[in-house]
Structure 1
Amino acid sequence: MAEDLLRYDILIQDALRGAVKKILAEVNRTGLPGEHHFYVAFETTAPGVRVSQRLKERYPQEMTIVLQHQFWDLNVGEHAFEIGLSFGGVPEKLVVPYSAIKGFFDPSVQFALEFDPGKTAEELPEELLEAVEELARAEQEADATLANATPVEAKPVDKTESEEIAANAEKSDNGGEVVSLDAFRKKP
Structure 2
Amino acid sequence: MSRGIDYGNLMHRAMRGLIQEVLTSVQANGLPGEHHFFITFDTAHPDVEIADWLSDRYPGEMTVVMQHWYDNLDVTDEGFSVSLNFGDAPELLYIPYDAIKTFVDPSVEFGLRFETHEEEDEGEDAPTAAIKPTEPAARPKLGKSSPADKKDADVVSLDSFRK
Describe how 1:21-32 pairs up with structure 2 within 5 A: 21-32=20-31
- The aligned counterpart of 1:141 is none
Structure 2: give runs of 5+ residues left out of the alignment: 117-124, 128-163
Ranges of 4+ aligned residues in structure 1 off by more than 4 Å: 117-120
TM-score by length of 1: 0.60
In the other structure, the counterpart of 1:11 is 10
CA change 1:14–1:71 in 2 (3 A) is same
> Which residue does the alignment assign to 1:63?
62
Determine whether 1:33 maps to 2:32. Answer: yes
C-alpha deviation, 1:15, in angstroms:
0.7
Distance of aligned partners of 1:95 and 1:119 in 2 relative to their CA distance in 1, 3 Å threshold: farther
Question: Could you tell me which residue of structure 1 aligns to residue 151 of structure 2?
Answer: none
Q: SS of 1:112's equivalent?
A: strand
CA distance in 1: counterparts of 2:3 and 2:87, whole angstroms: 46
Q: 2:126 & 2:41 partners in 1: Cα distance?
A: 13
Using the aligned pairs only, state the percent identity.
43
* 1:159-186 Cα deviation digits (max 9, x unpaired): xxxxxxxxxxxxxxxxxxxxxxxxxxxx
Deviation of 1:119 after TM superposition, in Å, equals 5.2
- The DSSP-based 3-state class of the residue aligned with 1:16 is helix
Q: Distance in 2 between matches of 1:6 and 1:54?
A: 42
Q: Flag the 1:82–1:23 CA change in 2: closer, same or farther, 3 A.
A: same
State how far apart, in whole Å, the 2-side matches of 1:119 and 1:73 are.
34
CA contact (8 A) 1:50 1:95 kept: yes
Q: 1:54, 1:119 → 2: CA distance?
A: 31
Query: CA offsets per residue over residues 131-174 of structure 1, 9 Å max, x none?
Result: xxxxxxxxxxxxxxxxxxxxxxxxxxxxxxxxxxxxxxxxxxxx
Alignment of 1:1-188 (within 5 A): 5-116=4-115
What is the alpha-carbon distance in structure 2 between the residues aligned to residue 84 and residue 45 of structure 1? 19
More strand by share: 2
TM-fit CA distance, 1:116:
2.8
- Opposite residue 85 of structure 1, the aligned amino acid is L
Q: Distance in 2 between matches of 1:89 and 1:59?
A: 18
TM-score scaled by length of structure 2:
0.69
Aligned length: 118
Equivalent position amino acid for 1:71 in 2: Y
- Matched-pair contact (CA < 8 Å) for 1:13–1:119: no
Between structures 1 and 2, the one with greater helix share: 1
Q: Distance in 2 between matches of 1:85 and 1:53?
A: 15
Highest Rg: 1 or 2? 1
Q: Structure 2: how far apart are the matches of 1:87 and 1:37?
A: 17
